Structure 1
Amino acid sequence: MQHSKVKAAVKTVCLVLSLLLVFSGFHQVFRFKYTDGIYGMDRFYALEPNTVDVLNLGSSHMFVDVNPAVLWEDYGISSFNLGGSSQPLWNTYYYLKEALKTQTPKLLVLESFGASLPFEYSDPGNIIKNISALKPSANKLAALQVSVPEGEWLGYGLEFIQYHSRYKQLAKADFMGTGVAENPQLFLPVDENWMGGMTFLAVSPFEPVSIPASDARSPLLPKTEEYYRKIIELAQSEQIPILIFTSPYFWYSEKQSLYHEAAGIAEEYGVPFLNFNEDYAKTMDWSTDFADVGHMSYLGSEKFSHMLAGYLHVQYTLPDRRGDTDYAAWEENAAFYRAALENHSLTSISDVETYLNTLVALPETYLIFLSLDGNYMASPYDLRAGLEKLGVPRVDSGTPGAWVHSGGALVTGFHGSGPYRWSSAEENDDLTVDQTGLYCNRTNYKKVADGLNVLVYNRKTATVADTVGFSAPAGAAPVR
């Protein structure tokens, strides 16, 4: 009898453990992994303890405008952007409390957009982005209670209610556990060493906006002011210096008096407050530096990050971690950022000769697939001569062919109508060239029937950097 009870208990325990394992796997795949509020906290948890010297906090005005890769490249600053979209200051406060469980930063940098937000509760999407990544704890419970109206706690506390039906939205990144932007075509991709900076690829020219000369102050919302003060007081109780700044953006003048109030409160605590809006017309280029009315483009972010890095270097004693193997993740993040930016630069080239010259200079981390197809001889630009720069032997007039190039040399090549086939199994992707086209994961990226087709794969970023066809009948115009 006793044996039967033990056997039944063991079966029950095994069943419970099995169900927990199944649910854990379900949770890891189905949970949201947005880079503007969830994947950043995932990455933060993965960092080695006490490696973040500068913790950057706030909304997208922080994590889009400030690039940790630039701070690292300039001065070896190991920084991390920890925030969420339209993050209210109560969420920033609980993010800070969570961060201090594993990190002891030498400086906190708070972007102040959250002080200007006009609401007591975020919209549902941003509530999810700002609380769901927190690990179960008393801190997360407190964040939930202040972020969500009381009658809605259960719906946000049991997260599977939010994501259980998103099976139609599942993508490769969900199974790999990597972050993805809500609109990935607008941002550079990220990797497993990401330090929280989102890079906006759009460039939107604007007319300069004049900032009125005013010292007027308007009170912050009581809830906002409460948590603004709590952030400052928590930093000071932990004896961590804090710098507060306002990032440049177009709607500033509408909320200028709120930022003046935030600056005044900071002054009460002896905390420096930098308002980059009051003087940013002298430092920013309105025609190139913004992606939209609220965020900087990758060009503006680079410029602004260089400026901020220089200020931090002069005003604070921060170690240069470059060359320290304990901080290799920051070096990898910077290298990935540069590689991803190089990918983007390819997509902006429209002239075939310039494009081929650029391919010649790419490092060996790139795998370049090329094919001459159909009536490519109709091109006014000599495509065969252009390919010779990449080591491709000149084929007979009108003869089709395909080649693979990497690191300044040909890997393989074929000419004639085929059949032929060459494949490369990369870390996350399968690449193939045959007589029918250029493939990544069985998707054919052949763009034109008559002309030159190109697929460029970057092994560093593990992504297709660019696919383009130069149409011979259209004067070698690019087709993407």
Structure 2
Amino acid sequence: MKGSSKYIKFIALVLALVVTFLFADRLLSFKTIHGIRQARDLYVQPRDTIDVAFLGSSHVHYDMNTAYLWENFGIASYDYSAAEQPLWITYYYLQELCKYQSPGLVVLDLYSPASFHDEYQYYYLTDNLNGVRFSKTKLDMIMASAEPDRIWDFFPSFVTWHLRYKELNKYDLEYLFMSKKERQAFKGFTPHFRNTYYEVPYYDFEHVTVLPPKTEEYLLKIIDYCKDNGIELYLVVNPYYIDSPEAGCYNRIKEIAAEQGVRYENFNHWYDTMGLDFATDLNDASHLNYEGSCKYSDFLGQVIKSLYDIPDRRGDERYESWDRHAEYIRGQVERQDSEDVNENN
């Protein structure tokens, strides 16, 4: 009996430690909308409901308006992205996504591989890593993303949040008690409402720039993974204030796409067609604001529906969380409109 009692106490202690850790992780972990929440809330999405996954950098969760795509096209999509995400992290995000979802289409934005060429990119690495569950996939992601002497800066995750108790805020408590159902209504998209004026950019459409070897290696890995798993891959460049060196990288990716038989589109060639106005539709030089995201997503939705067999899921009970998502985004827009009225009065 004594041995059995000790065994029960040991099991109870282990369970208490696990529960305590999970509680602390939920409360103390960083919860930025620059990638961490996009990764964390993927895990609560109804299994095998995401038909279109948008991958890439912050261009994705600023520009790909999942609420608009749902309300106007019935596309069940998710922005699974993080700030300045290099392709070696995107490759492992794609693997992580496919553990829980079976997307028919992956749309990959190419801003980061054209703009950030260092082999190791640390500035937003925490935002890229901390929302992903511990697994071999995450370990591989860390190994690809950090030099050996810096790995322990990012693993295990509690190394990065152990002092956060000093800066806990209202949102930390709200997220702690947020139900799975409430979290399902988050689909990655984060509307922004600033308006910054720019002239329409001029850049060299034709020249080609060599990609860094690591970037090209992981682009080919992503292409091969999609082919091997029967996933359609669409390489895109979201509209922004583009410059010529970046355009040269996109042209090299266009060559690779043609060689690999993958669709590619630079939507910076379509400003007029989509009605994008650089005087009103940019949050900053690199990102669209909410109005710009609606214009771009309207055009992108039409393109996706014309090129791919993506079902209209509206009215399907399994997809009711997208209805709640659209309602949540409408609420954010209405609050912003109310604030603008109050500021002008």
TM-score by length of 2: 0.93
Q: State how far apart, in whole Å, the 2-side matches of 1:120 and 1:156 are.
A: 17
Q: State how far apart, in whole Å, the 2-side matches of 1:200 and 1:316 are.
A: 29
Q: State how far apart, in whole Å, the 2-side matches of 1:203 and 1:159 are.
A: 36
* Identity score, percent: 32
Match in the other structure for 1:155? 153
Code of the aligned partner of 2:341: I
Q: State how far apart, in whole Å, the 2-side matches of 1:38 and 1:209 are.
A: 32
Match in the other structure for 1:62? 60
Match in the other structure for 2:122? 123
Alignment of 1:186-197 (within 5 A): 192-197=184-189
Task: Give CA deviations for 1:233-260 in whole Å, capped at 9, x if unaligned.
Answer: 1111111111111011114323111110
1:102 and 2:93 are equivalent in the alignment:
no
Q: Which has the larger share of helix?
A: 2
1:115/1:262 contact within 8 Å kept: no
Work out which of the residue numbers 296, 306, 309 in structure 1 matches 2:301. 309
Code of the aligned partner of 1:275: N
Q: State how far apart, in whole Å, the 2-side matches of 1:192 and 1:77 are.
A: 16
1:191/1:336 contact within 8 Å kept: no
The change in CA–CA distance for 1:313 and 1:265 in structure 2 (over 3 A counts) is same
Task: Give CA deviations for 1:299-347 in whole Å, capped at 9, x if unaligned.
Answer: 1111001010011111111111111111000111011111221111111
The structure number with the bigger radius of gyration is 1
Match in the other structure for 1:434? none
1:89/1:228 contact within 8 Å kept: yes
The change in CA–CA distance for 1:46 and 1:192 in structure 2 (over 3 A counts) is closer
Q: State how far apart, in whole Å, the 2-side matches of 1:281 and 1:204 are.
A: 19
Match in the other structure for 2:327? 335
Bigger relative contact order (CA 8 A; separation at least 6)? 2
Task: Give CA deviations for 1:27-64 in whole Å, capped at 9, x if unaligned.
Answer: 11001111111111121111111111111111011111
Q: State how far apart, in whole Å, the 2-side matches of 1:196 and 1:58 are.
A: 12
Code of the aligned partner of 2:154: Y
Match in the other structure for 1:13? 11
Work out which of the residue numbers 239, 254, 276 in structure 2 matches 1:248. 239
Q: State how far apart, in whole Å, the 2-side matches of 1:281 and 1:60 are.
A: 23
1:233 and 2:232 are equivalent in the alignment:
no
1:105/1:240 contact within 8 Å kept: yes
Code of the aligned partner of 1:318: I
Q: Which runs of 5+ in 1 are unaligned?
A: 180-189, 351-467, 469-476
Q: Which has the larger share of strand?
A: 1
Match in the other structure for 1:164? 162
Q: Per-residue deviation at 1:24?
A: 1.7
Match in the other structure for 1:111? 109
Cα RMSD between the aligned structures?
1.9
Q: Secondary structure at the match of 2:100?
A: coil
Q: Secondary structure at the match of 2:54?
A: strand
Q: State how far apart, in whole Å, the 2-side matches of 1:17 and 1:334 are.
A: 38
2:41/2:183 contact within 8 Å kept: no
1:33/1:178 contact within 8 Å kept: no
Match in the other structure for 2:45? 47
Q: State how far apart, in whole Å, the 2-side matches of 1:209 and 1:5 are.
A: 75
Match in the other structure for 1:382? none
Q: Which runs of 5+ in 2 are unaligned?
A: none
1:178/1:191 contact within 8 Å kept: no
Task: Give CA deviations for 1:331-388 in whole Å, capped at 9, x if unaligned.
Answer: 11011111221111111115xxxxxxxxxxxxxxxxxxxxxxxxxxxxxxxxxxxxxx
Match in the other structure for 1:284? 276
Q: State how far apart, in whole Å, the 1-side matches of 2:190 and 2:306 are.
A: 25
1:208 and 2:203 are equivalent in the alignment:
no
The change in CA–CA distance for 1:178 and 1:297 in structure 2 (over 3 A counts) is farther
Match in the other structure for 1:298? 290
Q: State how far apart, in whole Å, the 1-side matches of 2:299 and 2:146 are.
A: 37
Q: State how far apart, in whole Å, the 1-side matches of 2:243 and 2:263 are.
A: 19
Match in the other structure for 1:217? 208
Aligned length: 339
The change in CA–CA distance for 1:281 and 1:178 in structure 2 (over 3 A counts) is farther
Q: State how far apart, in whole Å, the 1-side matches of 2:15 and 2:68 are.
A: 45
Task: Give CA deviations for 1:267-314 in whole Å, capped at 9, x if unaligned.
Answer: 111111111123425531011010101000111111001010011111
Code of the aligned partner of 1:272: R
Match in the other structure for 1:394? none
Q: State how far apart, in whole Å, the 2-side matches of 1:237 and 1:13 are.
A: 43
Q: State how far apart, in whole Å, the 2-side matches of 1:316 and 1:5 are.
A: 63
1:43/1:193 contact within 8 Å kept: no
